[in-house]
């Protein structure tokens, strides 16, 4: 006798998409590390409206930490948020990366007014011992 293949249908899990309220005023969080730059545009409650990064834009390796990569990521992020209705942001910048100013300029050029810039780069008060000097 041949064995019969039984198929079981599993119910697909339907996840509800979270609805984010988009106001005209919001916040832009720019995290510029040595390896990448991540830009998130949020409403005033902190819910993310749109985000982008240099890695998401297709840059790899050391090219992710360039002003041009930051410019491309900011353009992508700003267009989505502008279409949803975001017009004015307060910018929070964190990290020592290269594309900080470039990302802020690009947000402004894409129709999002920058009202204030806050630098929240963490500075150690002589906490951990730094790594040794590079030997090349």
Q: Is residue 72 part of a domain?
A: yes
Contacts of 100 (CB under 8 A, 6+ apart): 30, 32, 70, 93
Read off the pLDDT of residues 8-39 as tens digits, 9 standing for 90 and up: 666 667 778 778 888 899 999 999 999 999 99
Residue 47 resides in a domain: yes
Q: Are 78 and 111 in contact (CB under 8 A)?
A: yes
Helix, coil or strand: residue 120 = coil
**What are the tens digits of pLDDT across the range 43-78?**
999 999 999 999 999 999 999 999 999 999 999 999
Does residue 82 lie in a domain region? yes
> Tens digit of pLDDT for each residue in 66-75?
999 999 999 9
pLDDT digits (tens, 9 = 90+) for 124-133: 899 989 899 9
Asked if 70 contacts 32 with a C-beta cutoff of 8 angstroms, the reply is yes
22 SS3 class: coil
Report how far residue 56's alpha carbon sits from residue 64's, in angstroms, rounded to the nearest whole number: 10
Sign of CA dihedral 18, 24, 25, 30: positive
Q: How many domains does the chain have?
A: 1
Q: Is residue 36 part of a domain?
A: yes
Q: Identify the CATH number of the domain in which residue 106 sits.
A: 3.30.420.80
- Give the structural domain span for 43: 25-119
The answer as to whether 115 is a domain residue is: yes
Report strand pairing: 25-32 vs 88-94. parallel
Q: Is residue 134 part of a domain?
A: no
Q: Are 79 and 110 in contact (CB under 8 A)?
A: yes
Residue 126 lies in a domain: no
To which H or E segment does residue 84 belong?
helix 67-84
């Amino acid at each position: 006798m041949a064995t019969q293949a039984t198929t079981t249908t599993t119910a697909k899990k339907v996840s509800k998409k979270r609805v984010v309220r988009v106001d005209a005023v919001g916040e832009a969080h720019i995290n510029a590390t040595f390896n990448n730059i991540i830009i998130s545009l949020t409403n005033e409650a902190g819910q993310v409206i749109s985000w982008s990064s240099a890695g998401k834009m297709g840059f790899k390796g050391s090219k992710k930490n360039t002003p041009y990569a930051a410019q491309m990521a900011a353009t992508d992020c700003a267009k989505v948020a502008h279409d949803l209705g975001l017009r004015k942001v307060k910018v929070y910048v964190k990290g020592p990366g290269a594309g900080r100013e470039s990302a802020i300029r690009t947000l402004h050029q894409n129709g999002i007014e920058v009202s204030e810039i806050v630098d929240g780069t963490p500075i150690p008060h002589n906490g951990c011992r730094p790594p040794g000097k590079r030997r090349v």
